[in-house]
Structure 1
Amino acid sequence: MTPITTTAELAAFCDKLKGQPFVAVDTEFMRETTYWPKLCLIQAATPKDEAVIDPLADGMDLEPFLEILRDESILKVFHAARQDVEIFNNLKAMPRPLFDTQVAGMAAGFGEQIAYDALVRQMLKIELDKSSRFTDWARRPLADSQLSYALADVTHLAKLYPMLRARLEKEGRLVWVTDEMEGLTDPANYDVDPDNAWKRLKPRRHTAKYLAAYKAVAAWRERTAQHRDQPRGRILKDEAIDEVATQLPTDAAALDRLRSVPKGFSGSKFGPDLLEAVREALKNPEAYAPVVEKPKAQSSPAAGAVVELLKVLLKARAEDAGVASKLIATVSDLEMIANDDEAATPALKGWRREAFGEDALRIKRGELALVLDGAKVRVVEVRRGPRKAAAE
C-alpha cells in the first residue's frame, strides 16, 4: 500500500471527495511526550474512494484536505472524535458538520463509550486485526500491514455510518446525536489560550488572592508547556497549582517548602518565572482574579438521598430506552437537579428532559416512586387515595 506523500497527490484525492455526502476520517498521532499532538497519519474514505495521507512527508501541504474539513456541505464521520477534532482545530479546520459513531453507538444502545473494534464486530460481523495497535506512527517507512491497519479504521467507518444513521432515524434518535455534535465542535472546548487554562481545573477556594495566583500559575504552566512542547504535568502537577495558590510563595525558600513542588524546583529554570507570576498576580489580586461562581449550598439535608434515587431512576430509564445512561445525564447533572428544579443542566432540556428530566422532577415531588420487581426496577406513579401506587 502506498500512502499519499505529495501535495499534488493529496489535491487529486481531495477532488474526488468534493461533492460526496460524507467522508470518514481518522488520525494517528503521538503526544505522550509533547504538548502539541504530532500528526503522523490521516486516513479518509468514502464508499468510493479511500487513502492514507502522510503529513510527515517532505513538502506536504495539508491545505487541500483541510479545505474538505471546512466544507460544510460534506459530513465528517469520526469514531471517538474529540482528540481528532482537537488536532484539526489547531490546524484551523474545525470539521463541521460532524457525526461521531461512538456517540451514535451510545444512542443506539451499544453501551457506554463503545470501542471501534467492538462496534465493527457487532454491526459488520468483522473481527479487526489488532497487531499494529501499538505502532510508532512517527517512524518511517511504515509497513504495508501498518498502513492497512490504519486504513481499516475508515473503510469500515464508511460502512458503519449509513447503518447507524438509519437505525437512529428509525428510532427517532438522530437529534440526540446532533445535539452532542454541537458540543464536540465548539472551539471553546479546545481553547489553548494560557489565560483560560485555569478553567480546565477545579479551584477549591474563592478568595481574590487564591484565585489570582491560581489563574497566574495555570497560565504560566500553559505558556511554558506550549513553548517547550512538553505535557503540562511534566512542568507542574495540578495539585501543585492549588498548593501554590493556597500558600502564595513569593521567594525560593517558601516555594521549596511546598510538598507538591519537586525538590529544588526554585533553583530550576522554572522556579524564578513561577515566582514572578505569583508576585505579579498579588500586586492587584482583585483585578486579576477570575470570576468563579460559588457552588450553591445543598437545598436540604436530603439532597444526597435524592441523588441516589435519581441514579436508580436514570439507570431504569436508560435501560427502558436502550441507551447509555451517560448520554442522558452525569452525576453532576443529578446533583444539580437534586438541589434545583430549574438547574441549568442539559438533563432538563430537549430530548433529555423527555427521556429522564421530567421524571426526575416528579420523583422529587413525590409523584413517582421506584419499585423493585424481581431484578428490574420499575417506575410507578403515586396516586392519592386507597391505592398507594399503580404501574405506569
Structure 2
Amino acid sequence: MQVITTTQALAAFCKDAATYDFVTVDTEFLRETTYWPKLCLVQAATPDRAVIIDPLADGLVLDPLADLLADDHVTKVFHAARQDIEIFVKLFGLVPAPLFDTQIAASVCGHGDSISYDNLVRAIVGEQIDKSSRFTDWSSRPLSEKQLTYALADVTHLRNIYVNLRNEIAKARRQSWVEDEMAVLENVGTYVVQPEDAWKRIKAKVNRPRDLAALQALAAWREQKAQTNDQPRSRVLKDDAVAELAIQRPLTPAAFEKLRAVPRGYGRSSSAAEIVDVLKSVEAMDKSALPKVAEKPRGPSPKGAIGDLLRVLLKAIADSNGVASRIIASSDDIDAIVLDDHADVPALKGWRRKLFGEKALAIKHGRLALAATRKGVVEVPVDLE
C-alpha cells in the first residue's frame, strides 16, 4: 500500500496514470464545522495500481494531481461525485473532466436511484466493504492500517464497477442519458454558490415583493458571512430563522425577542446589527425596484386527473426501461408540467424529455391516451381531427 507524501512521488504517479484511459478517484474530508470541506486524503487508482495521497503531508504540492484531473485523455471515475468535485473546484478552480459518476451510471442501468457505494460493490463485485472506519477523524495522523485499507477500497472496487457499468450503458444504448447527467456535474456553476442566488436554496413561502427582497438580501448576507468565516450556513443562522426575519423584519433588539426561530438574546449580537442594516436597506427600496413574486399558476390542479394520468405514464415508462421512476421524473416535475408546458424541470430536458416529457405533454393536450392491456399499460395515439 503506497501512501504518497512528497510532490516528487505524486508527480511520478500522475505521469504514470496519464498513460491510461481512466483513473478512479475518491476523497476523505471533514466538513462538520466549516463551510469549505477540509481535504484529508485523496485515493486514486489506475487499472493496475492504487495509491493514497496525503494532502496534509508537510511540503506536498498537489499541482501534479490538478494536471491529471484536467487531462482530457483520462476519464476520472467517481462515485457520488458532487462533494469530491466541490473540493477540487475550491482547490484548483476546475472540474475534473471527462467525468464518469458510477452512482448516476448505475441509476440509468436499473441499479436503483442514488445507490450507495457499498451496495453497488455488493451487487457488481460481490464483496462486502467494512464500513467501520467511515466516520473516523481523517485529519488525525498517523492513520491506522484499518483506515488506509478502508480508504483504498473506495477506488480499487470502483475500477471493476466502472468497466461493468460502461459495458451495460453501451449495451442498453443509454450513452446520451449519462452524457446529459455528466454535463451538469462538469459545469463549475454546480459547485459555486453565489451569495445573490443563495435564497433559492431556502424553502420559504413569501407572497409579497418586499418579503422576497428581504429573503434575497438576508440569504446573501448569510452566505457571504459563512464563506468569509468558513462556517456552515446553519452556524450563522438557520433557514427557518432567515425566512422568519424576512417576513417580520425586526429593527430593534426587543423585536428580535418576539421571533420564534431566532435564538434568545440574538437581537443584541453584532450579527443582529448587521441584519438590521440589511433590513433597513430593504425597507428603503422603491416599489419599482422590488423583485416580482411568482404568480400563482392557473389551470388544472396538479393533483387532479391529468396529474394522475402522467403518473401512470411515468410508471409504465419506468417499468419498460427497468429504472426507478424518480430517475425519469419527480412528483414535483409532474406537478409543474400539469401547470406549464414550458416548466423548467429536468423531465422536460434532454433524454428525459424524449423518453417521458413529450408524451406527458401529448397526454395533457389530448394527443395521446393510455390503455390497460394484459401486457400492461400501452400508449394509444389520438386523432383530434
* TM-score, normalisation: structure 1: 0.90
Alignment of 1:47-66 (within 5 A): 47-66=47-66
* 2:194 corresponds to 1:186: no
- 1:77 corresponds to: 77
Matched residues, number: 381
Kindly provide the amino acid, as one letter, of the partner of residue 380 in structure 2. E
Aligned-pair distance for 1:363? 2.8
The aligned amino acid for 1:239 is D
Report the AA paired with residue 354 of structure 1.
Answer: K
Question: What secondary structure, in the 3-state scheme, does the structure 1 residue paired with 2:270 have?
Answer: coil
- In the superposition, relative to structure 1, how do residues 84 and 331 fare at CA in structure 2: closer, same or farther (>3 Å)? same
SS of 2:40's equivalent?
Answer: strand
Give the corresponding residue for 2:100.
99
Contact 1:28 1:42 in 2 (8 A): yes
* Deviation by residue 1:110-168 (Cα, 9 ceiling, x = unmatched): 01111111111111112222232222111111111211111111111112112111110
Contact 1:212-1:288 within 8 A present in 2 as well? no
Equivalent positions of 1:167-206 (< 5 A) are 167-205=168-206
Distance 1:349 1:195, change over 3 A: closer
User: Which residue pairs with 1:148 in the alignment?
Assistant: 149
State whether residues 371 and 380 of structure 1, in contact with CA within 8 Å, keep that contact through their aligned partners in structure 2. Answer: no
The CA deviation at 1:357 is 2.0
Tell me the secondary structure at the aligned position of residue 134 of structure 2.
Answer: coil
> What do residues 353-392 of structure 1 show as CA deviations (whole Å, max 9, x unaligned)?
332223323332443225385xx852342778xxxxxxxx
Q: Does the residue aligned with 1:93 lie in a helix, a strand or coil?
A: coil
1:209–1:285 Cα contact (<8 Å) kept = no
Q: 1:212 touches 1:286 (CA, 8 Å); kept in 2? A: no
Which residue in the other structure is 1:264 paired with?
265
Does the aligned pair in 1 maintain the 2:5–2:54 contact within 8 Å? yes
For 1:224 and 1:302, locate their aligned partners in 2 and report how far apart those are by CA, in whole Å.
Answer: 39
Structure 1 CA distance, aligned partners of 2:288 and 2:100?
Answer: 42
Partner residue, 2:248: 247
Spell out, residue by residue over 1:73-116, the C-alpha distance to the aligned partner (whole angstroms, 9 max, x if none).
22111101111111111121211221110010010010111111
Distance 2:172 2:213 in 1: 50
Q: Aligned residue for 1:388?
A: none
Q: What's 1:87 paired with?
A: 87
Query: Could you tell me how far 1:237 is from its partner in structure 2?
Result: 1.0
SS of corresponding position for 2:308: helix
Question: 3-state DSSP class of the match of 1:249?
Answer: coil
SS at match of 2:59: coil
CA distance in 2, matches of 1:233, 1:313: 40
CA contact (8 A) 2:300 2:338 kept: no
- Calculate the TM-score normalised by the size of structure 2: 0.92
What is the rounded CA distance, in whole Å, between the counterparts of 1:179 and 1:217 in structure 2? 34
Amino acid at match of 1:368: A
Are the structure 2 counterparts of residues 370 and 205 from structure 1 closer, same or farther at C-alpha, using a change threshold of 3 Å? farther
Aligned pair in 2 of structure 1 residues 303, 125: CA closer, same or farther (>3 Å)? closer
**Residues 288, 89 of structure 1: alpha-carbon distance in 2 compared, 3 angstrom cutoff:** farther
Whether contact under 8 Å (1:336, 1:343) holds in the other structure is yes
Matches within 5 A, 1:92-171: 92-171=93-172
Distance 1:20 1:295, change over 3 A: farther
Aligned: 1:381 with 2:380 = yes
Residue 45 (structure 2) aligns with: 45
| Gapped regions of structure 1 (runs ≥ 5) | 385-392
> Identity percentage over the alignment?
49
Unaligned runs of 5+ in 2: none
- What SS does the corresponding residue of 1:3 show, helix, strand or coil? strand
1:275-290 equivalent positions in 2, closer than 5 A:
275-284=276-285, 286=287, 289=290
CA distance in 1, matches of 2:135, 2:224: 30
What is the distance in 2 between the residues matched to 1:288 and 1:214?
15
Aligned-pair Cα RMSD in Å: 2.2
Residue deviations 1:256-276, cap 9 Å, x none? 221111110011232212212
